[in-house]
């Protein structure tokens, strides 16, 4: 079935509180998508963000971001009073998320709500804690310890607890009991609100496309509490870290810094941790996009401590075996393989075996008529055709900075005369392609300029800030998108 999809992360939804939340504006966005005839809503990882505010660098692969918990819902539950959150300054610029303000106030408000929470009166709380015990206990302790250590990463804590010694863990579980309960409460509220929002979307015929990074952050509960998963030395520091080698776009490569997996250990366990992670993501979302999918075939390794990615080598990953075992246990998986970047014949072979839809990104295509990202070259309909991803420019910004050669080719290919006509023509090209699903960022339908770009890879401090306003989601825009869906049978 042909479908269309819009990318808009929770953080970008309209809000009076500095960042998008899972309350009335999120439900209104679902209503907007339904009116527009859009069948899929793609978001970025829901995980708590750490240094740099990236949802791809998180304290936990399982936890939800406290910033998205809606205060109005908590007020309705009798846990907050309006003045306790509405009188706070949440934004410095209505067009951008100010993460420093959110961080400064969010947990204070949630602690007020926690002070009024009575677990004995909420049977669902005990049930949630029991169902998520495998990760929730360690996560809540990890966050309580971070709070006690002024936010420092775990590898800068006192030695016994940084090395996760059983005696130290047991002692801190006792001394930080109340703080641990707070972080469990936060996750319970996140899960409850997310479940209601997802159910509402599903009830209205809209699937949620979620996103999981291939790697964990170094400062994460996984790296602290389950060090055997990673390629660490005996001091629990990375031997090598993740990134991408130099190319024409980045002469020094990309140094991500994430710890790499000890795939031999994972193989001995039957890839249990990864299969559990895929199962969890499949419950959280309807369709799971796995970032940097090529890393399962082989991955680039950079010596820990290097300042860039110029020195490194490739090592073999688990390949198709991981997904074969996952499907044996979980059944057919609804996965999108992010198959961008350096794609070798071996990666192609793994992708063919998995059978998951890959990605085409039209912004990458306008070099010449042979480019695989142009619609006439799509070799299969088993793909998602993106006008651009969260790592790309908005279409408006992309066109504004286009060189003469690309501009000339784009006009010819798209059969338009003016530069200003290109963004909408690119959307039409994606929608008209054979791809099962056509995808655009909400910025592209809003014709947002370059300042609305979600992320510029390998930069810090300017990303993940894009916001929308309630006034932008007009009936006229919904009608325009619905017309497009009707024309191209989506």
Q: How many Cα neighbours within 13 Å face the side chain of 12?
A: 27
Q: Which of 53, 207, 291, 297 is catalytic?
A: 291
Verify whether residue 150 is a known catalytic residue: no
**Contact present, 191 and 128 (Cβ < 8 Å):** yes
361/398 Cα distance (integer angstroms):
13
What's the Cα-to-Cα distance from 76 to each of 39, 110, 153, 435, rounded to whole Å?
Answer: 30, 14, 36, 43
Phi-psi region of 204 (alpha: psi -120 to 50; beta: other; left: phi over 0): alpha
Is 291 catalytic? The answer is yes
Paired with 314 in beta bridges are: 300
Whether residue 391 lies in the annotated active site: yes
Query: H or E element: which one contains 302?
Result: strand 298-303
The 3-state DSSP class for residue 252 equals: coil
Give the whole-angstrom CA distance, residue 9 versus residue 454. 9
CA gap 191, 124 in Å, rounded: 11
Catalytic option among 181, 391, 421, 470? 391
**DSSP codes joined into one string, 108-174:** HHHHHHHHH--GGG-HHHHHHHHHTHHHHHHHHHHHHHHHHTTT--GGGS-HHHHTT-HHHHHHHHH
Which of the following is catalytic: 189, 219, 297, 338?
A: 338
Give catalytic residue positions: 291, 338, 391
């Amino acid at each position: 079935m042909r479908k269309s999809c819009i990318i808009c992360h929770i953080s970008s939804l309209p809000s009076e509180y500095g960042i998008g939340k899972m309350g009335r504006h999120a439900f209104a966005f679902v209503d907007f998508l339904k009116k527009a005839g859009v069948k899929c809503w793609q978001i970025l990882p829901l995980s708590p963000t750490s240094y740099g505010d990236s949802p791809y660098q998180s304290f936990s692969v399982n936890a939800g971001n406290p910033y998205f918990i809606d205060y109005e819902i908590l007020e309705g539950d009798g846990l907050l009073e309006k003045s306790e959150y509405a009188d706070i300054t949440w934004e410095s610029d209505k067009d951008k998320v100010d993460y420093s303000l959110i961080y400064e106030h969010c947990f204070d408000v949630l602690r007020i709500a926690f002070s009024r929470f009575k677990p004995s009166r909420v049977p669902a709380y005990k049930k949630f804690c029991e169902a998520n015990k495998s990760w929730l206990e360690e996560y809540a302790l990890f966050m309580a310890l971070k709070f006690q250590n002024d936010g420092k990463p775990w590898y800068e804590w006192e030695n016994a607890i940084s090395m996760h010694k059983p005696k130290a863990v047991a002692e801190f579980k006792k001394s930080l009991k109340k703080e641990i309960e707070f972080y469990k409460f936060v996750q319970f509220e996140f899960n409850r609100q997310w479940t209601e929002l997802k159910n509402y979307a599903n009830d209205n015929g809209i699937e949620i496309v979620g996103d999981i990074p291939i790697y964990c952050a170094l400062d994460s509960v996984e790296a602290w509490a389950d060090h055997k998963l990673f390629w660490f030395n005996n001091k629990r520091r990375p031997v090598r870290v993740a990134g991408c080698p130099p190319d024409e776009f980045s002469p020094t490569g990309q140094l991500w810094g994430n710890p790499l997996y000890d795939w031999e250990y994972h193989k001995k366990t039957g890839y249990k941790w990864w299969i559990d992670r895929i199962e969890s993501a499949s419950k959280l979302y309807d369709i799971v996009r796995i970032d940097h999918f090529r890393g399962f075939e082989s991955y680039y390794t950079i010596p820990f401590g290097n300042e860039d990615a110029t020195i490194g080598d490739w090592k073999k990953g688990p390949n198709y075996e991981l997904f074969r075992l996952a499907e044996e246990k979980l059944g057919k998986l609804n996965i999108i393989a992010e198959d961008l970047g350096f794609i070798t014949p071996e990666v192609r072979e793994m992708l063919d075996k998995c059978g998951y839809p890959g990605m085409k990104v039209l912004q990458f295509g306008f070099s010449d008529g042979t480019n695989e990202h142009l619609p006439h070259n799509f070799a299969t309909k088993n793909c998602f055709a993106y006008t651009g991803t969260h790592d790309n420019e908005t279409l408006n910004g992309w066109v504004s900075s286009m060189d003469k050669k690309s501009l000339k080719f784009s006009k010819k290919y798209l059969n338009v005369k003016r530069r200003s006509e290109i963004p909408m023509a690119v959307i039409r090209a994606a929608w008209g392609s054979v791809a099962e699903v056509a995808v655009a960022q909400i910025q592209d339908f809003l014709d947002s300029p370059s300042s609305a770009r979600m992320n510029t890879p390998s930069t810090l401090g300017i990303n993940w800030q894009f916001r929308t306003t309630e006034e932008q989601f007009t009936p006229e825009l919904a009608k325009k998108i619905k017309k497009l869906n009707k024309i191209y049978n989506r």
